[in-house]
Structure 1
Amino acid sequence: MKSKEKYLPILLFACVALGIVIGGMLNFPQRTLSKQNARKVKLERLMDFINEEYVDDVNSDSIVEMTVNSILANLDPHSVYLPPSEQSSEAEIMKGDFVGIGVNFYMFNDTVTVVRPLENGPAAKAGILSGDRILYADKSKLFGRKLPTDSLYNKLKGEEGSKVLLTIFRKSTNKKLKLIVEREVVPIKSVDTYLMLNKTSGYIKINRFAENTHDEFRTGLEQLKKQGMTTLVIDLRDNGGGYLEKAVEVADELLKDKELVVFTKNRKGTVDKTYATEEGIFETGKVFVLIDENSASASEILAGAIQDNDRGTIVGRRSFGKGLVQREMGFEDGSAVRLTTSRYYTPSGRSIQKPYTKGEGEKYSHDAETRFASGELYEKDKMKIADSLKFKTKKGRIVYGGGGIVPDIFVPLEVKKGEENLAYILNSGVVGHFVFEQLDKNRNAFKGLKFEQFLTKMQNDYSYVPKLESYLKDAGLDMKLDSNKTLVKKYISAEFARQLFGESQYYHIILKDDTMLNVVLTRA
C-alpha cells in the first residue's frame, strides 16, 4: 500500500490554493508543527516572500495554477486542475442546460455570427436567422475585439427571464436590426439523435454521459420500441465519457435484475459494486454497441457491462482505455480539481485502464498516434492484447483487460491508410466552419429547398471537395482529398444538412453507408 506521504502533495495543493487567504489567521507555535503542517507553512511563506519582495510585479494566481498543475502532473493523467472559466463551461455541459439566447455561433472575421438558432429557442422566437451577425449585446460591442469565448458567452447569458437588446446585421438584406431576446433555459443534449434504421433496428447516438443522459436515452428507447424496434444500436463513438452513474443508469435499461454493471476499488481496498435493477425496459432483444479509439471512461463502463454480461455485441475498434474514477473538489474562486480516487472494473473483473507513466500526460493523451503507427486501426491482429490479463464473461467467453475494451467484431478506420489525419478533420469543427462560409457566400442557393430536394441537389455534387482542400491549405493543412472524395463529400453534405435543417437530417446522411452500421445490419 502506498504511504500517506505519497499523497501529501494534495494537501500542499489545498494549502497553496487557499492558504494565502486563511494562512494569516492561523498562529501555531513552531514547536507544535507536524511535518505536514511545516510543509504547508513553507509554501505560504514562499508565496508571501514572492509577493512582498520579488523585483517585478507577479500574478499570484498564475503562480498558484502553475504549482497546482505541477503537482497534479506527477499523479496520473486524469487528475487535473480546471480554472474558473473552464470549470463553469464544463459544469454547464454536464448539467445539460444553461440560461441564454439559444444560438450556435461562430467567430467569423472577428464577428459573432449565428450558424443556426436553436429551434423554438429564444433567439429563433425573436426572429434571429442563420447568418446574422450579432454586433452588440445591449451596449457591449462584440465585433472587432477578439473577445475570448467565455467573455462572449457571459454577454449573451444571464438570469432566466432577463432580456438583452441585440443589434444585428443581416447580410441577406444588408440591414441592421435591433431585436429584444428574453433569455430562457437552453438544453444541451447528450443524446444527439434516435431513429429507426429499418423496420426493426433502432439507433441511439450518445455524445457524453451528463445529468440528462438517462432521461434522454429512455425517451428515445420508448419511442423506438413503439416503432417496432427489436434490435438496438448504441453509438458511443467519440464519446469521451462523463458521469459513471449515468452510464450505469443506461446499462440498467438493458440488463436484467441483479446483473453486475461495474465495481470500483480505492487504494484502501474498499470495493463498491453496482447492480442492475428490475426497472429496465429493453432487457430482451439484440443490442449492438459501437465504439472507437475515442470512446472512453463511462462509455467503456457501458460497453464493458454489455460485453461481460453477454448482453450484446461490441463493434468497432479498441476503446481509449480510461479506468480511473475522479472526484471533484471545488474552490471559492470557481476553479476545481478532479482527483483520481479509485479504479473501476467491468463485471468480469477487468481493469481496462491503459498503462501510463506519471508525469508523461502528453504522451498518454497522444496514444492514438501510436495506434496509427502500429496499424492497429486497420488490422485487428495489430491490436496489443495482454494475454496475461484474460477474463471470462458470464457465458465463459474470453475477454481482455489492460487497455480499453476490445470489440467482439473489429471494423477498420474508413479513411485510407496513411491519411489518418483526415478522420480527425472530418469529425472536428473545421468542416462546419467551411460549410458555414460556403453558405454565407450564397445562402439563396438553398433557399426554399425541402430536405428531399436538398438530397437530390447534393447527390452528385463533388464541387465542394476541392474547395475544402483549398480551405484547409489556406489554414496550413496541405491535405489531398481526392482519394477519399466520396467520404469527404458525405461529411460536407451532412454538415450542410445540419446547418440548413437540423441534427436529425445530419445523421440521415452521415449514417448512410457507415461501415460499422453496415456490419451491424447484416447481423441484426
Structure 2
Amino acid sequence: MSKSKILFPFILGAAIAAGIFIGGKLDFADTSDRLFSSNSKKDKLNRLIDYIDYEYVEDVNTDSIVDVTVNGILNNLDPHSVYIPKENMQEVADNMKGNFVGIGINFYTFKDTITVIKTVENGPSAKVGIKGGDRIVSANGESLLGGGYNNDTLVDKLRGERYSKLKLKVFRKGSPELLTFNVTRDVVPIKSIDASYMLTNNLGYIKVNRFAESTYQEFKTALDKLKRLGATSLALDLRGNPGGFLEIAVAIVDEFLEDDKLIVYTRNKKGKEDRSYATTKGDFEKGHVYVMIDENSASASEIIAGALQDNDKGTIVGRRSYGKGLVQREMNLGDGSAVRLTVSKYYTPTGRSIQRSYENGNRDYYDDYADRLNRGELLDENKIEVADSLKFTTPKGKVVYGGGGIIPDVFVPYDTQMQNETLTFLERRGFLDNFVFEELEKDRNKFNDISRQEFFENFTVTDSVIKSLEDFLKLKTRSNIVFVAYKNEVKHYLKATLAEQLYGYGAYYKILNKHDIMIDKVISLSQVQSN
C-alpha cells in the first residue's frame, strides 16, 4: 500500500487533549486586584462588547462573541492553550478524573431503541442484572422509544446525582414480559488501562490510554498482578496516548527508576524550575521495561519515555513521538468556563525539550504529521530529521535528540496492512462495533457455552460474516466497500470487537495484539534480553 494511503491520525481534539495538565486550578476571583487591574487594553475589549450589546442594529449573542474573542487570543499563543466552554466542562472534568456518575452501560440506538452493547464490569447496571442486548424501554416512567432523542439527550436522562434511583423497564429476548430494574446511580470508572496480561512466561503487557487521576492506581494494580504471574519484564504500551496529569506520569516512572534519579523538570518564563525525582517506592526497578510509542504518543507519554531513555533504563520501541513539551494549568473564568493556559515547559533529565516548533502558527504545527508522512519517516527510520544542535548524551553515552518528540531506540515501521485507512476509519467511527452488535443480536445464545479462552484459541470469523459487513456498510455509508486485499485483517478486527462485547476488559487488545508487529518486536527483544 502506498504511503498516501496511511491514515492521517492527528485529530485536532486529540491534539488539544495532548497537554500535560497540572492538577491544581486557579480561581482568579481571589486575586482580581492584582491580576485584573484596569488598563486600556482590557477596557477596549469591554467597551467594544458593551457597544455591540447595547447599540448594534440587531440582537447579537455577545456570549458567542466573547467565546470567539477568547479563542482568537489563545490561537495566537501556542497550539495547546485552549478554551473550554461551560457546556463541555463536565465531560472534560470526568475524563481527567477518570470516572463519572451514571448507570454504567455502553449503548447503541438500534431500531429506535436504546440497546445495551455491554455493561461496565461491576457497575450499577451489571450489579442488578442488566445484560448486553437488553432494550431500555422507559426510565422512571418516561418512554425512550421512537428514536426522538439524540445520544447526548439519552445520556442526560440516564445520568444523575450519585445514589439517586432510576427505574428501568427493559425488553429482553426470550422474556414474555418487560423486566423491571431499579438501578442506583454511582461512580463509574473510565478505565485508563485497556489491557494487562502476560505476553510470554516472563513478559507482562500493560496498555495505558491516558493519564487521569485514577491511572496510577489502575497501573499499580495491573503491575502487581503481572508480577505475581511471573513478569520480570514489562511492555508498557503508550501508543495513541495523548497525555494527562504530569504527576501521574511521574508516579509511574518512579516504579522503574532507582532512588533520587531525575525524572523531569519544568521551567516557567521567570526561570523557576520544579524538579521531580524517583523515590524509594519503585517496585519494578530490577525489571526491564519496553516502552512502546508512536506518532500519537504525547506529553505525559513522552515524559515517561524520555525519563527512562535519559536514565538508560529499558528500551523505547516504535516511532518518533508527537513532540509535546508544554505544561498547562486550568484557570476558571468565573462563568463555568475555563482556559487551559500553557504556564511552563518540561525537560527530560538530560535537559531536552521535545516540544516541536510552533513559530509558524497552528496550521503549520498540525501539518507536521503530513511532513513526516511525505518524508517517509513512518516507514523508514533513516528519514527522521534531527538537529545536531539539539544533541544530548545520557550517563552511559547514548546520543539522544531534542526538538520534536522522542526518537525510539528500536524503530518499528507503520503497519500499512493492519492500520490501513479504511479499517481504521471504520473502527474509529464505530461501524465495526455496531455491526458486531447487530450480528450478536441474531443469536447471542450460541456463545453461552464458549469460554473466553476457548473463544480466543478456536473461534474464527467466516467469509459469510465479511459479506454481511460489506452489505451493512453499503446500507450505512451508501458506498461500496469490498474487503479483498485485507480480508484477514478485517476478520481479526471483527474477532477482537466481538470478544470485547462478549468478554469485556482486555479481550479486544489481547486478540488484536496477536497480529501486531510492534508487539512481535518487543517479544523478540525480550527473548534476546533473557538469554
CA contact (8 A) 1:252 1:279 kept: yes
Instruction: Find the partner of 1:340 among 322, 342, 347.
Output: 342
By how many angstroms is 1:357 displaced? 4.0
1:403 partner letter: G
Quick one: which amino acid aligns to residue 241 of structure 1? G
TM-score, normalised on structure 1?
0.87
Instruction: Give the Cα separation in 2 of the matches to 1:369 and 1:427.
Output: 20
1:271 aligns with 2:273: yes
Q: Which residue of 2 aligns with 1:322?
A: 324
* Segment of structure 1 superposing worse, 170-179 or 433-442: 170-179
Q: Distance in 2 between matches of 1:485 and 1:307?
A: 38
CA separation of 1:411 and 1:427: change in aligned 2, threshold 3 A:
farther
Q: Is the 8 A contact 2:461 2:494 kept in 1?
A: no
Q: CA deviation at 1:360?
A: 2.5
- 2:139 matches 1:137: yes
Task: Report the more deviating stretch, 213-222 or 434-443.
Answer: 434-443
**What aligned pairs does 1:68-87 form with structure 2 within 5 A after superposition?**
68-87=70-89
Residue 459 of structure 1 and its aligned partner are, at CA, apart by 2.5
Local SS of the residue matching 2:154: helix
- Partner of residue 412, structure 1: 413
2:498 equivalent to 1:496:
yes
- The question of whether the paired residues in 2 share the 8 Å contact of 1:76 and 1:358 is answered with no
8 Å Cα contact 2:241-2:298 kept in structure 1: yes
Residue 390 of structure 1 aligns with which residue?
Answer: 391
**Are the equivalent residues in 2 in contact too, given 1:78–1:324 (CA < 8 A)?**
yes
Partner SS for 2:280: coil
Give the count of matched residue pairs: 495
SS at match of 1:129: coil
Displacement after TM superposition at 1:265 (Å): 1.3
Are the structure 2 counterparts of residues 213 and 106 from structure 1 closer, same or farther at C-alpha, using a change threshold of 3 Å? same
Aligned CA distance change for structure 1 residues 134 and 369 (closer, same or farther; 3 Å): farther
1:218 aligned partner? 220
Residue in structure 1 matched with residue 23 of structure 2 by the alignment: none
Check 1:515–1:335 CA distance in 2 against 1; reply closer, same or farther (3 A cut): same
Give the aligned residue type for 1:511.
N
Q: Which residue of 2 aligns with 1:399?
A: 400
Residues 298 and 343 of structure 1, relative CA distance in 2, 3 Å threshold: same
Q: 1:309 to 1:329 in 2, by over 3 A?
A: same
Corresponding position of 1:292: 294
* Local SS of the residue matching 1:202: strand
Relative to 1, partners in 2 of residues 1:278 and 1:186: Cα closer, same or farther, differing over 3 Å? same
Equivalent position amino acid for 1:461 in 2: T
Contact 2:328 2:343 in 1 (8 A): yes
Aligned equivalents of 1:157 and 1:247: distance in 2?
Answer: 30
Answer whether contact 1:85 1:150 (CA < 8 A) is retained. Answer: no
Give the direction of change, closer, same or farther, for the CA distance of 1:463–1:75 in structure 2 (3 Å limit).
Answer: farther
Return the offset for 1:218: 1.3
Cα deviation, 1:149-186, whole Å, max 9, x if unaligned, reads 44333322222221012233335658544322111221
CA distance in 2, matches of 1:321, 1:451: 39
Mapped to 1, the partners of 2:387 and 2:221 lie a distance apart of: 39
Superposed displacement of residue 416, structure 1: 3.9
Which range is displaced more, 230-239 or 440-449? Answer: 440-449
Equivalence map 1:370-385=2 (5 Å): 370-385=371-386
- Matched to 1:396, the amino acid is G
Counterparts of 1:454 and 1:133 in 2: how far apart (Å)?
26
Asked whether the equivalents of residues 245 and 300 of structure 2 are also in contact (C-alpha less than 8 Å), the reply is yes
- Please list the CA deviations of residues 71-127 of structure 1 after superposition, one character each: whole Å capped at 9, or x if unmatched: 111111101111123221121121122221111123445543211011232112223
Structure 1 counterpart of 2:165, from 163, 166, 186: 163
Q: What is the distance in 1 between the residues matched to 2:415 and 2:349?
A: 31
* Residue 285 of structure 2 is aligned to residue 283 of structure 1: yes
Measure the CA separation in 2 of the matches of 1:502 and 1:340.
38
Are the equivalent residues in 2 in contact too, given 1:80–1:339 (CA < 8 A)? Answer: yes
**Closer/same/farther in 2, CA of residues 469 and 240 from structure 1, 3 Å limit:** farther
Deviation at 1:146, TM superposition (A): 5.6
CA gap of 1:89–1:341, structure 2 versus 1, over 3 A, is: same
Change in CA separation of 1:142 and 1:389 when aligned onto 2, cut-off 3 Å: farther
Find the counterpart in structure 2 of residue 432 from structure 1.
433
| Secondary structure of 1:523 counterpart | helix
* Structure 2 runs not aligned, ≥5 long: 1-26, 527-531
* Contact 1:239-1:299 at 8 Å conserved across structures: yes
Structure 1 residue 519 corresponds to structure 2 residue 514: no
1:522 is paired with a residue whose SS is: helix
What does residue 97 of structure 2 align with? 95
Query: What is the root-mean-square deviation in Å for CA atoms of aligned residues?
Result: 2.8
Give the % identical residues: 52
In the TM superposition, residue 398 of structure 1 has moved relative to its aligned partner by: 0.7
Q: Which moved further from structure 2: 37-46 or 244-253? A: 37-46
1:516 and 1:373 map into 2 onto residues whose CA distance is 22
Inter-CA distance 417–113: structure 2 relative to 1 (3 Å threshold) = closer
C-alpha distance in 2 between matches for 1:442 and 1:385? 55
| Residue equivalent to 2:124 | 122
Q: In 1, Cα distance between the equivalents of 2:353 and 2:144?
A: 48
* CA distance in structure 1 between the partners assigned to 2:400 and 2:148 by the alignment: 51
SS at structure 1 position matched to 2:389: coil
Q: Which runs of 5+ in 1 are unaligned?
A: 1-17, 27-32
Partner Cα separation in structure 1 for residue 199 and residue 481 of structure 2: 33
**8 Å Cα contact 1:262-1:305 kept in structure 2:** yes
Write the mapping of 1:199-210 to structure 2, written as runs, cut at 5 A: 199-210=201-212
- Secondary structure (helix, strand or coil) at the match of 2:525 reads coil
Aligned counterparts of 1:417 and 1:511: Cα–Cα separation in 2:
11
**C-alpha separation in 1, matches of 2:173 and 2:259:** 58
* Distance of 1:334 and 1:86 partners within structure 2: 10
How far apart, in 1, do the equivalents of 2:429 and 2:232 lie?
33
**CA offset digits 1:195-224 (Å, max 9, x no partner):** 111211111111110111111111111121
Corresponding residue of 1:12: none
Shift of 1:399: 0.9
1:157 is matched by which residue type in structure 2? R
Specify which of 39, 43, 51 is matched with residue 41 of structure 1.
43
Conservation of the 8 A alpha-carbon contact between 1:464 and 1:492:
no
3-state secondary structure, aligned to 2:317: strand
Residue type matched to 1:356 in 2? Answer: Y
| DSSP-derived class of the 1:340 partner | strand
* Equivalent-residue separation in structure 2 for 1:41 and 1:120 (angstroms): 54
* Separation of aligned partners in 1, 2:496 and 2:206: 18
User: What's 2:155 paired with?
Assistant: 153
1:492 alignment partner AA: L
* 1:511 alignment partner, SS class: helix
For residues 84 and 104 of structure 2, the distance between their equivalents in structure 1, rounded to whole angstroms, comes to 25
Q: Which digits, 9 at most, give the CA deviation of each residue in 1:369-426, with x for residues without a partner? A: 3333332211112222223311111211011111111111111122249944534544
Return 196-205 or 143-152, whichever deviates more: 143-152
Which TM-score applies when normalising by structure 2?
0.86
Say which SS state the counterpart of residue 116 (structure 2) adopts. Answer: strand
Residues in 1 aligned to 2:150 and 2:80: alpha-carbon distance in whole angstroms:
26
- Contact 1:231–1:285 (CA<8 Å) still a contact in 2? yes
